[in-house]
Amino acid sequence: MMSPSNLLSKSRIAVLGYGSQGRAHALNLRDSGLDVVVGLRRDGPTWKRASSEGFKVAEPAAAVKSADLVAVLTPDMVQPELYKDAIEPNLKPGAALLFAHGFNIHFGQIKPRVDIDVVMVAPKGPGALVRSEYERGRGVPCLYAVAQDASGHAQERAKAYADGIGGARAMLIATDFKEETETDLFGEQAVLCGGVSELVTKGFETLTEAGYQPEIAYYEVMHELKLIVDLFYEGGLTRMLQFVSETAQYGDFVSGARVVDAGVKARMKDVLSEIQNGTFAKNWTAEYAAGLPNYQRHKQADLEHPIERVGAALRARMPWLQPDAPKIANPMHRTALARQFTSTHSIPAHAVAPEEALIRN
């Protein structure tokens, strides 16, 4: 029986983009014995890196011309133009087009040629993990889906690709473009990026407005979030409940659902509806086309939130958070620093600039 990756063994794969996903996919596919060319703009930021890592690198149009499967791993918002300019006119008849996120196909931003396969392989992890797990002989679970099956083998092609990047060593979950796109957008908006950041900043504001020190508020509502998230990641609610005190558990039971109440869930449903009915995609593509005015304004407000100032100052005093921080050469300095720490109860946010990391000589 043919193993899935054999299906691509005679294929040339063009990976467009060499960022988080593109680099990991290209390296894993190559190490799986497949023929990979990387497609990038010659003046783009990652051309040098891909060529120094031993890849054939070509402009997107040329890479596409030679390929039997094209993996579109550029940022989502540049994909429609890339498709029109470089892919559509150059893609071989019967080739396959592969995405790692369903946005552009599902919301009709790309209308693919009818003679090609259109598939998705979406690793459930960042590119660095897709690569490091592969190197350990393991893999990151992947979603896979077929939007268009012109060859009659679209699904096998998707699975062969997932095999090539190591995903099949872990788990492949069948989905469709609609489910992947809508759940991905909902997760990042309501819970992961939008939800958590609002929960944290509102908690910080509540404590500081009540007169508590911002340094202490930062530790309570942002820094310690990592401990809880790690417990979720390792073992879900069960593990969190095993590791926090009875007081913390009781507080969770009586207060959690008062803060995040039925009104929050009702508004989560509104957010989901706007994703499902295309309102979010329409607004976001218009915002992008207009040069991101609202996006920039919101981003600036986040960057200027008081929690960011105090956070930068405190993180500068936590050297384990800075793997690239210079080593302290003189151990005497370390002692002096430790003494300074234990004698300082509160570091006012304005007293320590983030660039003053570690120690002043």
β pairing state of 69-72 and 142-148: unpaired
E-only strand ranges, 73-206: 96-99, 117-123, 142-148, 172-174
Smallest separation, CB 168 to ligand NAD (Å): 17
CA dihedral 20, 26, 28, 34 (to 10 degrees): 170
**Contact call for residues 165 and 33 (beta carbons, < 8 A):** no
Asked if 20 is part of the footprint of ligand NAD (rule: CB under 6 A), the reply reads: yes
Q: Can you tell me which of 4, 5, 15, 17 binds ligand NAD, judged by CB under 6 A?
A: 17
Smallest separation, CB 266 to Mg ion (Å): 20
User: Closer to ligand NAD at the Cβ: 126 or 256?
Assistant: 126
Size of the site for Mg ion (CB under 5 A): 1
Asked if 19 is part of the footprint of ligand NAD (rule: CB under 6 A), the reply reads: yes
CB atoms within 10 A of CB 114: 8
Smallest separation, CB 47 to ligand NAD (Å): 8
Asked if 285 is part of the footprint of Mg ion (rule: CB under 5 A), the reply reads: no
**Contact call for residues 105 and 99 (beta carbons, < 8 A):** yes
Q: Which of residues 336-355 bind ligand NAD (CB under 6 A)?
A: none
Say which amino acid occupies 29.
L
Q: Show Cβ contacts of residue 144 under 8 Å, excluding neighbours closer than 6 positions.
A: 119, 120, 121, 122, 155, 158, 159, 162, 167, 172, 173, 174, 175
Asked if 132 is part of the footprint of ligand NAD (rule: CB under 6 A), the reply reads: no
Q: Can you tell me which of 108, 126, 235, 326 binds ligand NAD, judged by CB under 6 A?
A: 126
DSSP letters of 246-302? HHHHHHHHHHHHHHS-HHHHHHHHHHHHHHHTTHHHHHHHHHHHTTSHHHHHHHHHH
Taking phi first (over 0 means left), then psi (-120 to 50 degrees means alpha), and beta for anything else, what does residue 213 get?
Answer: beta
User: Closer to Mg ion at the Cβ: 135 or 302?
Assistant: 302
CA dihedral 206, 212, 217, 221 (to 10 degrees): -40
Site string for ligand NAD, 26-45 (x = CB under 6 A): --------------xx--xx
120, two tokens: 């998705």
Distance of CA 281 to the CA centre of its chain: 18
CA-angle at 38, arms to 33 and 43, nearest 5°: 155
Q: Which of residues 47-76 bind ligand NAD (CB under 6 A)?
A: 60, 73-76
Q: Which of residues 214-273 bind ligand NAD (CB under 6 A)?
A: none
Minimal CA–CA distance to 185: which of 33, 304, 40, 76? 76
> Which residue stretch of 191-199, 223-231, 253-261, 350-358 sits at the interface with Mg ion (rule: CB under 5 A)?
191-199
Asked if 112 is part of the footprint of ligand NAD (rule: CB under 6 A), the reply reads: no
User: Closer to ligand NAD at the Cβ: 82 or 96?
Assistant: 82
User: Closer to Mg ion at the Cβ: 36 or 275?
Assistant: 275
User: Closer to Mg ion at the Cβ: 19 or 194?
Assistant: 194
- Say which DSSP state 91 is in: P
281 binds, among Mg ion, ligand NAD, none (CB under 5 to 8 A by kind): none
Smallest separation, CB 331 to ligand NAD (Å): 40
Examine the residue annotation and report whether 101 is marked as an active-site residue of this protein: yes
**Contact call for residues 94 and 115 (beta carbons, < 8 A):** yes
22 binds, among Mg ion, ligand NAD, none (CB under 5 to 8 A by kind): ligand NAD
82 binds, among ligand NAD, Mg ion, none (CB under 5 to 8 A by kind): ligand NAD
Smallest separation, CB 201 to Mg ion (Å): 7
Distance of CA 1 to the CA centre of its chain: 36
User: Closer to ligand NAD at the Cβ: 25 or 157?
Assistant: 25
Smallest separation, CB 275 to Mg ion (Å): 17
Asked if 197 is part of the footprint of Mg ion (rule: CB under 5 A), the reply reads: yes
Residues labelled as active-site residues: 101
Binding residues vs Mg ion (CB under 5 A): 197
Binding residues vs ligand NAD (CB under 6 A): 16-22, 40-41, 44-46, 60, 73-76, 78, 82, 100-101, 122-123, 126-127
